[in-house]
Structure 1
């Protein structure tokens, strides 16, 4: 089948107009979400790279985990005047992230192979990337809802893009990279959209599901549960226990871990929740990954003595539970190991190019109609190539000891300032090449600064991530050199109303 069902030219024009309008309004945010999403796919690798000296273990005993939890609770009490946390969490070592950490409130510590505390967890940069992609660095509830809305906008763009392209299948391999720059940009936009269409549907769909589910939870909580939005998630993730004020000895998590290994040796425990420690209502939940399943895991429940109490039901639950539990994995590529991560990164970069080329097309069409927007064109270049430069600058700030609260202002204020200043730069080609070079320089500086500050540890994770970052910097530097060469060959900037092929290279 070579064509969509027959549609009128007027309908196609209306859809194209709506598609372009949505894309321009949301373009900058969608590009930043797409770029940060590429990096968040590797958040575990970035965390290991960020603190390369933290202890790692590929095997551990329940007794070591129990000792680590006890030490972490004791440390928490010493910091907080003897009070206990509502929940004491432990991230267990896995193949992908062989580190054990204890988390309580805003405090987190690494656990050494002997169960001792081994320093505070400080993943300021990794957490900044997560905060940007999940919440746009806003307060969590409004931030994730806003991201969900942009996910819905991106899905609308994908659908309207296909509806506006009646020859989507016939032109699937048509790729013109010479001659008319507008046609070349259109082919780049359309081909990448078609070739990665399953990914480009799944990512915004699952993002919208995850973000807008919080909006649903807020409405349900405000309407029926005195503002507590947790009730909306109980059918999927199970209900929380009822806290008792009666004190009890802090539960030992070792029996629950031993029982878990005996009952389900086929699963990989990776997260433990000791709920209400030091009370008669305390219990243990162990979240485990299941082999050859798309869901993010199953919660196995134990009482304070380590007796098995059942599971929440994600493993064999309802269709709704399966869909929600699988949406996390599909959105973040948290399945299949490194090959899937690399595939998600490449498809995510393609999505960045689709967003960038979509706005480029709109700008080029305006220029062709003698309605050029040179200031807007320069501001858009600063968004595309200023974003990676500022992300690298944020890491340099972290490595230099800057507080983590500075990172969001450095990025967002820096991006706004860059967009304003870029409007006064005459050459679009020079602006584009200069920002690429700045991105490359900041990445190289950040990698070497971090290597010096951390003592260049003999860690495969550290050197692997460093190598990939340096290769990225080399590619950006090469693109910058090519851009400067093209700018040098040009006798003058294109006249107003003339499409600029250099400015479209995003």
Structure 2
């Protein structure tokens, strides 16, 4: 590789790494417990105990469950109703107005068959929610999400440029060489290079999926404008139906089940929440496999008449978003994949920390480029002397 080209790649790696490293360290540290969010919630009691369902039990009426939730929070309106795929519990999100943001929502968790209200903390409270907000938007909403997305993209560039530099620097050294007998900085450099290559694929995937996830808000708004706009035009000039004018939600869900017999409902959005316009229930159906349970098919039900309006297809960009979200946290393969994600996360923290150490012990750019060239030319000898 030519000296000028090598110098350019070194500068790209240096500055992209420096700009994003502190933020990536924060994301790796906060992301580690988030990988085990469900398990931590169960151990700490944040996930309520749900009594088993009797063999002949029938699901409770959904409308009655919504009324129970509203009784818990007088003055609120219903926003979302959802099912837990792994237990017979259901949840109802309520808020002061239809466009209530998640940090201000209330949540009632109930047994889906008995209607019993289950004691559980609010999802938007506690240490895990604090870590989640810090990890996703640093408590400033969309600007924070987009900023972290930019840092994730810089991280991807740093990974690619690091791979380019790894070739000439380490091509004549045995893989995994750690030269500990010469200088501390050289040992840290070898550790940085080895761990960087080991975690390269994982770090790139997590970085790119993280960047995609930060676009969730704009992508959802684009989908709503694109897919729901044509249905909203049919109701132009009509006010949003009041709570008393809403058709039976239980019947709406039954209609959606009949329309998509191979799928099960995941959650329902009420009119005004942004997920189904101002005049529809949005019954979001999904599959039953680890992959298809992440892919939703919205079924729009007229909120006043209860009639099926449409079954719009999710665009490709929404499918990519839905698939990237669980992949980012290793939620596809159960506990083994989560443990692997955690180990790779810890190794990435070491890569970032060693990169910071090397920067503090840095020389000038020309010296670093000469070092890369020298190691590429005499790597075997250097390794033998270590």
Task: Please tell me the TM-score bracket, short chain as reference.
Answer: 0.7 to 0.9
Residue 326 of structure 2 is aligned to residue 332 of structure 1: no
Count residues in correspondence: 337
Distance of 2:215 and 2:162 partners within structure 1: 23
Structure 1 counterpart of 2:121: 121
Give the SS at the match of 2:118.
strand
Query: Which of 206, 211, 225 does residue 214 from structure 2 map onto?
Result: 211
The more displaced of 59-68 and 333-342 is 59-68
Q: Could you state the TM-score of these two structures normalised by the residue count of structure 2?
A: 0.74
Cα drift, residue 28 of structure 1? 1.7
Query: Which of 46, 65, 70 does residue 68 from structure 1 map onto?
Result: 65
Deviation string, structure 1 residues 234-255 (Cα, Å, up to 9, x no partner): 3787558567344444443323
Give the SS at the match of 2:361.
helix
Cα drift, residue 262 of structure 1? 5.4
Structure 2 counterpart of 1:101: 91
Does 1 or 2 have the higher relative contact order (CA < 8 Å, sep 6+)? 2
Q: Is the 8 A contact 2:270 2:280 kept in 1?
A: yes
> Would the alpha carbon gap of residues 22 and 281 (structure 1) be closer, same or farther in structure 2, given more than 3 Å must change?
closer
Alignment of 1:332-481 (within 5 A): 332-366=329-363
> Would the alpha carbon gap of residues 360 and 302 (structure 1) be closer, same or farther in structure 2, given more than 3 Å must change?
same
Deviation string, structure 1 residues 241-300 (Cα, Å, up to 9, x no partner): 5673444444433234445555656545432223359x9934242242452536832133
Q: Is the 8 A contact 1:89 1:102 kept in 2?
A: yes
Distance of 1:94 and 1:65 partners within structure 2: 16
Distance of 1:145 and 1:280 partners within structure 2: 28
Query: Which of 293, 296, 303 does residue 294 from structure 2 map onto?
Result: 296
Alignment of 1:83-162 (within 5 A): 85=77, 87-95=78-86, 99-105=89-95, 106-112=105-111, 113-119=113-119, 121-122=121-122, 123-136=125-138, 138-162=139-163
Residue 201 of structure 2 is aligned to residue 198 of structure 1: yes
Deviation string, structure 1 residues 353-412 (Cα, Å, up to 9, x no partner): 211111122223359x9xxxxxxxxxxxxxxxxxxxxxxxxxxxxxxxxxxxxxxxxxxx
Structure 1 counterpart of 2:27: 33
Give the SS at the match of 1:22.
helix
Q: Is the 8 A contact 2:265 2:283 kept in 1?
A: no
Distance of 1:118 and 1:70 partners within structure 2: 15
Cα drift, residue 196 of structure 1? 2.5
C-alpha RMSD over aligned residues: 3.5
Distance of 2:246 and 2:154 partners within structure 1: 48
Consecutive unaligned residues of structure 2, counting only runs of 5 or more, are 96-104, 367-386
Distance of 1:205 and 1:56 partners within structure 2: 37
Query: Which of 185, 189, 206 does residue 186 from structure 1 map onto?
Result: 189
Structure 2 counterpart of 1:270: 266
Residue 239 of structure 2 is aligned to residue 244 of structure 1: yes
Q: Is the 8 A contact 2:93 2:107 kept in 1?
A: yes
Give the SS at the match of 1:176.
coil
Deviation string, structure 1 residues 327-360 (Cα, Å, up to 9, x no partner): 2232232322222222222222222121111112
Deviation string, structure 1 residues 88-125 (Cα, Å, up to 9, x no partner): 21231122x76422211221122135113234533422
Structure 1 counterpart of 2:384: none
Q: Could you state the TM-score of these two structures normalised by the residue count of structure 1?
A: 0.58
Structure 2 counterpart of 1:486: none
Cα drift, residue 172 of structure 1? 7.4
Give the SS at the match of 2:60.
helix
Q: Is the 8 A contact 1:58 1:93 kept in 2?
A: no
Distance of 2:355 and 2:241 partners within structure 1: 61
Q: Is the 8 A contact 2:220 2:318 kept in 1?
A: no
Consecutive unaligned residues of structure 1, counting only runs of 5 or more, are 1-6, 218-228, 370-506
Structure 2 counterpart of 1:234: 224
Distance of 1:268 and 1:30 partners within structure 2: 37
Distance of 1:90 and 1:335 partners within structure 2: 24
Distance of 1:344 and 1:142 partners within structure 2: 27
Structure 2 counterpart of 1:497: none
Cα drift, residue 35 of structure 1? 1.5
Distance of 1:252 and 1:172 partners within structure 2: 69
